[in-house]
Chain A
Amino acid sequence: MTEICNASSVAMPALPKCPTGIEGLDEVTRGGLPRGRSTLVCGSPGCGKTLLAAEFLVRGATEYGEPGVLMAFEETADELAANVRSLGFDVKELIDQKMLAVDYVYVERSEIEETGEYDLEGLFVRLGYAIDSLQAKRVVLDTIEVLFAGLSNAGILRAEIRRLFRWLKEKGVTAVITGERGNASLTRHGLEEYVSDCVILLDHRVTEQVSTRRLRIVKYRGSAHGTNEFPFVIDNDGLSVIPITSVGLEHPVSDERVSTGIPALDAMVGGKGVFRGSSVLISGSAGTGKTSIAGFFAASACGRGERALMFSFEEAPSQIVRNLRSIGLDLDGWIKQDMLRICSTRPSRYGLETHLGLIHKQVRDFRPQVVIVDPISNFISVGTQSEAGTMLVRLIDFLKAENITSLFTHLTHGGVGLQQTDEGISSIIDTWLLLRDTETDGERQANLSILKSRGMAHSKSIRSFRLSDNGIELS
């Protein structure tokens, strides 16, 4: 769902925030975690909480010059180094530079006899020593609940953990505390009772063999934040949260017109093409030439010196290039010049959220001015219709906010219902083209018409549409 919010216009004393440097998370939290306070990150095993915490420290050290201390209760320093090395972070180097300290806390119940009163001052001393020797600004405790397995006196542990969180606040460090999700509560031992400033829940769900990771901010005292579940992905660059749901209807609009790459089609929309940053939908039955129009659209952008990013859910890049060459369009040259990028995936490979995430990441990475999704109808094969619809609304909102001109193709299934897009996204589309097959005199003939085009005079006529060696002809 699209949140309509206007955070920038709300004047309130800004809570100091500590940017995590994790892609998307700072947007969702409107600037980062509460500075000088503790944030609880919880979730079931394998949800990515340790990675989030480690990335918070590493990015703090490398991007914000803030030294950090990791107190690890589950993984040794070597294991941790190996885990984040896959993300391109060199923990050892950071430790040598005094930007990071890792203290592995090991408590083995069978080696310990308990008799009488004790406290966890040893833990405080260790943490305090590490913080002071690095002048650390960031602290991670991963996962402190392990202590409950190592020590039997839960009463003492609770009181001491409560004291530890107060102490961290007094130290003025920004802390991330991880916790394993319990059955009835957010964490097994109710850590959420002690951490009252910010709680983030990570989730890893598998539905119909497709896995999706999600992040939700359960609470964030004193700050506005996105309340939805945000999809996130873990890949070679670490964790990235896709903040697409937080896009509102505030995007700037452009008066600039861009060519569709087909002069005759430009002529139908007032002679100048479509608005930059607007969305174009091409509906049509199989084989009517949707991908061809998309190809011209992309090539025309490249010809203007813009970058085009194409997501194909049916054909491999080489197949698209080959097929379009047959109508006189050479995309290969643009690909070699890195002006055009074609990403092909099977829709069933990931869940909708992950697809959205990957599109988002590619857009952030490639920085295109034009994005093409061919076809959107395939998303229905992954999720339900309403899910697919919601996702497309979020995608279009995101692209609009970035002032990217987008083109979507949509496969319709013959007959009367042609004007009905299954996803019901026509209402958020700016320019809608319809390609229709008609049979006359024993021949199939494709017709192109413009169903709507917002903000411009457009032709109401139905033009016949032909693919030839020289491209697309309208007559």
Chain B
Amino acid sequence: MHEQESSDSLVAADFFELRLYVAGQTTKSVTAFANLKKVCEEHLAGKYKIEVIDLLVHPQLAKGDQIVAIPTLVRRLPEPIRKIIGDLSNTERVLVGLQLRPSLPPEDGE
């Protein structure tokens, strides 16, 4: 699975449509947005759009993108949809999630 992913996991797209799901102005949400902004500016300058959705304001939107964890970054374009959950503090992993870098071994839990 890993070999397969690393061979086709890189995307070359003209435009990245990103959605960041948050629930209120929590530390995690604010950190995630800041981290995302930084990664996009460095790697996707001029070809991205970030839409922030606050589920406390629009709870009905959580179902559509199958949101469970907060914060969740959803790459809506290019397809297929990819999700990155967490405060996006690990830039390498964000790049892997967006398929701008080959995949890495999983991050340690607990």
Contacts and interface: CB of A to CB of B under 8 A. Distances in A.
A185 interface: no
A147 B110 contact: no
B72 A122 contact: yes
Contact of B62 (A115, A125, A147): A125
Contacts of B23: 121-122, 124-125
A122 B67 contact: yes
A116 B88 contact: yes
Given A113-B93, A125-B55, A129-B59, A118 B109 contact: no
A149 interface: no
B52 interface: no
A111 to B, nearest CB: 6
Contacts of A150: 68
B107 A152 contact: yes
A115 B94 CA distance: 7
Interface in A269-321: none
A147 B68 contact: yes
B40 interface: no
Nearest to B67: A122
A125 B55 CA distance: 7
B13 interface: no
A268 B28 CA distance: 88
Interface stretch (A101-109, A212-220, A331-339): A101-109
A79 interface: no
Interface string B69-100: 11110000000111111111110011011000
B21 to A, nearest CB: 7
B56 A117 contact: no
A118 B21 CA distance: 11
A4 interface: no
Interface string B9-40: 00000000000010100001001100100000
B109 A116 contact: no
Nearest to B70: A121
Contacts of A251: none
Interface string A113-147: 11111111111111011000000000000000001
A147 B109 CA distance: 14
B7 interface: no
Given A122-B67, A129-B62, A116 B55 contact: no
Given A125-B55, A125-B62, A128-B59, A115 B69 contact: no
Contacts of B84: 112-115
A115 B68 contact: no
Nearest to B85: A118
B71 A105 contact: no
Contacts of A114: 84-86, 93, 106-107
A119 B29 CA distance: 11
B60 A113 contact: no
A112 B109 contact: no
A117 B28 contact: yes
Contacts, number: 113
A154 B80 CA distance: 27
A129 to B, nearest CB: 4
A116 B70 contact: no
A111 B81 contact: yes
B15 to A, nearest CB: 20
A442 interface: no
A112 B83 contact: yes
A118 B71 contact: yes
A122 B69 contact: yes
B87 A118 contact: yes
B79 to A, nearest CB: 12
B66 A107 contact: yes
B56 to A, nearest CB: 7
Contacts of B69: 118-123, 151
A390 to B, nearest CB: 48
A155 interface: yes
A118 B28 contact: yes
Contacts of A112: 83-85
A62 interface: no
Given A113-B83, A116-B90, A122 B109 contact: no
Among B69, B83, B87, B97, which residue has the most Cβ atoms of chain A within 10 A? Answer: B69
A106 B64 CA distance: 11
A107 B63 CA distance: 12
A153 interface: yes
A184 to B, nearest CB: 20
Nearest to A126: B62
Interface in A178-207: none
A129 B81 contact: no
A151 B23 CA distance: 19
29 contacts: A103-B63, A105-B66, A107-B68, A111-B80, A111-B81, A113-B96, A114-B84, A114-B85, A114-B86, A114-B106, A114-B107, A115-B84, A116-B88, A117-B86, A118-B70, A118-B71, A118-B72, A119-B69, A121-B23, A121-B55, A121-B70, A122-B55, A122-B69, A123-B69, A125-B56, A126-B67, A152-B106, A152-B107, A153-B110
Interface of B: 1, 21, 23, 28, 31-32, 35, 55-56, 59-60, 62-63, 66-72, 80-90, 93-94, 96-97, 106-107, 109-110
Given A114-B84, A115-B85, 7 more contacts: A105-B66, A115-B93, A116-B32, A117-B86, A122-B67, A125-B59, A126-B67
